[in-house]
Amino acid sequence: MRICDTIEDMRAACRAARRGGKRLGFVPTMGALHEGHLSLVRAARASCDAVAASIFVNPMQFGPNEDLAKYPRSFERDRELLEKEGVELLFAPSVEEMYPAGAVTWVTVEGLSSKLDGRSRPGHFRGVTTVVAKLFHIVEPDAAFFGQKDAAQVAIVRRMARDLNLPVEIVACPIVREPDGLAMSSRNAYLDPQQRKQALVLHRGLLQVKKSWEEGEREAGKLLTVGRDELSAEKSVRLDYLEIVDPDSLVPVENTAGGALVAVAAFVGLTRLIDNLVLPRSSH
């Protein structure tokens, strides 16, 4: 695996990897890798001739009171994992390399960026779309792989790629969970054993919504009540939002018959966790 820490090197290496019409897949990450990230690498491997990944803790997507300084970093371990998965190219730039002094240009997906996490984390999605656009211009991938775990991010990156005619296919991969149902996240490392148990309520809340939906309930208001009841049972967990929205526009829906995204965010102690599930379009 070749490791590049400059934009120039990475761009040259990616161009060489694509030579002869080879399909290059790209997996952007912030490191502290787990099976969720590796599932994206495997999906990329399965449908591309070569795979590039990036590890970059992007300061532009963290708010002033968020966990940028303490975000877990484990470069050596991450490097080994990616190498084992057969990644050919790893981009691990410094903050100065990505954001030279005086950089003032942003990419913003208006509207969508202030929905869901964007409402609780102002500026977050602007930071995400800016760095992803930059990474796409450096790597020039044929396909880029994102986790459905960050469902709003997928919708926003898709919209950016469409609106800016970026020549990249955006592939969304399923949420990878721990055996007990907790969605894998680098931030799970912050949880103590008690919080780790409390965190399961996010998944339980979603499962209650799903159960009610399977029993025939389609009204979003009723489904939300079921979910909120379950979530409020865990007193130590502070709900940020539970919403039922259109998966593309992220606008709340009243009825889920046409398919919907059920998304939750909650604080377990100081750790903010997210999870979601998709309700398919129903035939009845």
Site for ligand AMP in 119-148 (CB under 6 A): 146-147
Cα distances from 207 to residues 52, 175, 186, 230, in angstroms, run 35, 14, 22, 9
Degrees, nearest 5: CA angle 112-114-117: 100
> Which of 29, 113, 130, 208 touches ligand AMP (CB under 6 A)?
29
Rounded Cα distance, 163 and 159, in Å = 6
Considering beta carbons, is residue 54 or 256 the nearer one to ligand AMP? 54
**From CA 53, how far away is CA 73, in angstroms rounded?**
16
Q: Are 128 and 153 in contact (CB under 8 A)?
A: yes
For residue 237, list its beta bridge partners. Answer: 268
Tell me, yes or no, if 37 is annotated catalytic.
yes
Stretch 168-187: interaction string toward ligand AMP, x if CB under 6 A:
-----x-xx------xxxx-
Shortest distance (Å) from residue 47 CB to ligand AMP? 16
- Exactly one of 13, 30, 87, 199 binds ligand AMP (CB under 6 A); which one? 30
| Cβ-based nearer residue to ligand AMP, 98 or 183 | 183
Is residue 23 within 8 A of residue 142, CB to CB? The reply is yes
In the stretch 34-73, what mask flags binding to ligand AMP with x, by CB under 6 A?
--xx-xx---------------------------------
Instruction: Report residue 267 CA to chain centroid gap.
Output: 17
Interface with ligand AMP: number of residues (CB under 6 A)? 17
Minimum CB–partner distance for residue 188 and ligand AMP (Å): 9
State the minimum distance, in angstroms, from the CB of residue 279 to ligand AMP: 19
